[in-house]
Amino acid sequence: SFNAPQGQCPSCNGLGEKHEFDPARLVPDHSKSIDGGAIACLTDKGRIPFLRVGMREILALAKKRKFRTDVYGFMGGKDLDDVVAGVEHLKAQGLVDGARVGIYGGSYGGFLTLMALFTKPDRFAAGCALRSVTDWRTYNAWYSNSRLGDPKKDAENYKRSSPIDHAAGLTKPLLLLHGLKDGNVFAQDTIRLVETLIELRKDSFELMLYPSQDHGFTDKDSWLDEYRRIERFFDRHLGD
């Protein structure tokens, strides 16, 4: 276990466990792709190309009352600090190359990936954000208001919690992926972020849109394409 900003996190479910790279596998283990969470993908200097670390244990603690209330008014604050603490723990154990740490996730995990790259660019070398919320002001009110308050009265909460307001901080490679038929997090979130990045003259991002896919992909070919792109992206930016 290790101490994170929101409490002690158990070392379980493969935290820090090395996985042999099998070129016969087309995509990473989908069970490691967490909606409502994020994944740190850390490279190893040795024989094993990648050490994939699920941060599910850390973020699952948010289900407890203290951790849920700790992120009230600032999503992407203490919850992201916990992810960083997990990475720092592995660095301290000598398990990873701290200069080659990537992060990816879907939905809230995609949101955390964007916040990581935009607000903590010194901690992560690359990231892949899937079906990500980029602006809480345009997301479902029942979800956002209970965590960030009223959009008008608590405007500062939305500003500090929305990746689109921190896009100027992007300095590392970013891959954005989104299904155009997403009925939960509309693709417009990612498209608006792309427009903002263009206006900021950022050139370290890539975009892939999937015309037939919803929030959860159902088409096998689209799903394989998505994770092949993520694998190649990390291989380019985190590999030797």
Residues pairing with 50 in the sheet: 43
Q: Which of 89, 166, 178, 215 is catalytic?
A: 215
Rounded Cα gap, residues 140 and 224, in angstroms? 29
Please report how the helices 78-92 and 108-119 are oriented relative to each other, as an axis angle in degrees rounded to 10: 70
Q: Which of 33, 107, 132, 161 is catalytic?
A: 107
215 is catalytic: yes
182 is catalytic: yes
Give residue for tokens 């002001």: 137
Exposure on the CB side of residue 30, measured as CA atoms within 13 A:
10
89 is catalytic: no
Please give the structure tokens belonging to residue 19: 């996985």
Q: What is the DSSP string of 73-91?
A: T-TTTHHHHHHHHHHHHHH
Residues pairing with 105 in the sheet: 129
Q: Which of 70, 79, 182, 189 is catalytic?
A: 182
**Residues known to be catalytic:** 107, 182, 215
